Amino acid sequence: VFYYLTVYNEPIQHPAEPAGVDVEGIVKGIHKLSDGPGGAVPAQIMASGVAVPWALEAQRILAEDWNVRASVWSATSWNELRREAVACEQHNLLHPEEEQLVPYVTRKLSGSEGPFVAVSDWMRSVPDQIARWIPGPYQSLGADGFGFADTRGAARRFFHIDAQSIVVAVLTELARAGRVDRSVLKQAIDRYQVLDVTAAHPGAAGGDA
């Protein structure tokens, strides 16, 4: 038996355990962290690790600036979600006469309106593992390649995984679906200076940048 622990070097304030916490979802790989606060247009944001606070900030911005109601999901294990989904497909392949299994991530997200945007500070290939089983339009954000930046915030802006970049990604998917006008994309990019890494908040202090 092998156990592994992922440790980040950035100080994060962890919220208290909510009442009725979804223990099954946490163990299986994904659980809803926050329903969207108001807004007329629905969307879904999935985040893992240090990306969760950025997703929550994006949720706030989307509601206040763009009338978008984005729910935030915490992906505790992209890998586990894929393993379970692959096991379901293997069962269905070998047992066509039996009831066909539906992957947990598909069942969990079914009924959730709007596009799905996944964000991780790992490479995009990590959240891309589950793209096949997402019940709707899906876009992933991640830190691919090498970034040149002097602060955490600048690095995240370079890779477009910070809160403002998540906002633009959600609006992009909504525009593709015809839920918002495409003109808002340029407005958002200019408003949040998404193309300027020096405009990003430097990020939390502590650990190594």
pLDDT score of 147: 66
Q: Looking at the predicted structure, is the pLDDT value of residue 169 above 80? A: yes
pLDDT score of 38: 79
Q: Using alpha carbons only, give the angle 201, 206, 209 rounded to the nearest 5 degrees.
A: 60
Task: Give dist(CA 115, CA 62) in Å, integer.
Answer: 14
Q: What letter represents residue 187's amino acid? A: Q
Fold of 23-149: Rossmann fold (3.40.50)
Average pLDDT over residues 149-161: 87
- Placement of tokens 């909504």 in the chain: 174
Q: Looking at the predicted structure, is the pLDDT value of residue 209 above 60? A: no
**pLDDT band per the 50, 70, 90 thresholds, residue 203:** low
Q: What percent of the chain has pLDDT over 70?
A: 95
- Domain residue spans in the chain? 23-149
For residue 141, the SS3 value is strand
> pTM score > 0.75 for this model?
yes
Task: Give dist(CA 129, CA 28) in Å, integer.
Answer: 15
pLDDT score of 2: 85
Q: Looking at the predicted structure, is the pLDDT value of residue 149 above 80? A: no
Average pLDDT over residues 177-196: 95
